[in-house]
Chains A and B, each alone.
Chain A
Amino acid sequence: ETGVTQTPRHLVMGMTNKKSLKCEQHLGHNAMYWYKQSAKKPLELMFVYNFKEQTENNSVPSRFSPECPNSSHLFLHLHTLQPEDSALYLCASSQEEQTTTDTQYFGPGTRLTVL
């Protein structure tokens, strides 16, 4: 148990559906991250929130919409996705974003399949 939980663990959705991924961290951290993990590719950083403020949007398509209502919760809202968006979506947290020595703690991920 890393202290970072993600729900759902698996999600299958059609291209016209709207769904949301949820991440919660119980570590008292102030920075939270969304990553996309595709097979045999490096983890791709999508979004970063530091103290609830979005500090990074790594050229992510607008069909992915993050939300961070507080430092413990992070959502990723999905709509009109494409099959190539199928991947494992990982949430992570760290004490603060602007500290290079911080360790990021990862959740188990949501395996997303877009039909």
Chain B
Amino acid sequence: AQSVSQHNHHVILSEAASLELGCNYSYGGTVNLFWYVQYPGQHLQLLLKYFSGDPLVKGIKGFEAEFIKSKFSFNLRKPSVQWSDTAEYFCAVTNDYKLSFGAGTTVTVRA
């Protein structure tokens, strides 16, 4: 069965620090990859997605993610975080039309 691993459960960092969240998946075939974000008290919303083409994907709010097929990874990055980036981040992968989520990473940005 498809599985998605997010290695960091909770990340705490200061404003202006760089952020990288790891995501690995287990399926070896064609996949589509997503990062969703859930701000405190808000609904889950799409941050960015990768279907094909350039493996470096740019999303909203200055986030980007890189698909490395050989490593089965889709890590999320932001060069300089803001306090408003405090949220829970979920990696998700589709395969056989099913969307599988990782357990999420809580990011706390200190002002």
Contact = CB atoms under 8 A, between A and B. Distances in A.
Contact of A107 (B43, B90, B94): B43
Majority DSSP secondary structure for residues of A touching B: loop
Interface residues of B, number: 23
Given A90-B44, A106-B43, A100 B94 contact: yes
Contacts, number: 44
Majority DSSP secondary structure for residues of B touching A: strand
A108 B39 CA distance: 11
A104 interface: yes
A65 interface: no
A42 B99 contact: no
A67 to B, nearest CB: 22
Interface string B71-102: 00000000000000000001000110111111
Given A42-B104, A97-B97, A101-B32, 18 more contacts: A2-B43, A4-B43, A40-B9, A42-B4, A42-B103, A43-B90, A43-B101, A45-B100, A90-B44, A99-B97, A100-B94, A100-B95, A101-B51, A103-B46, A106-B43, A106-B45, A107-B43, A108-B42
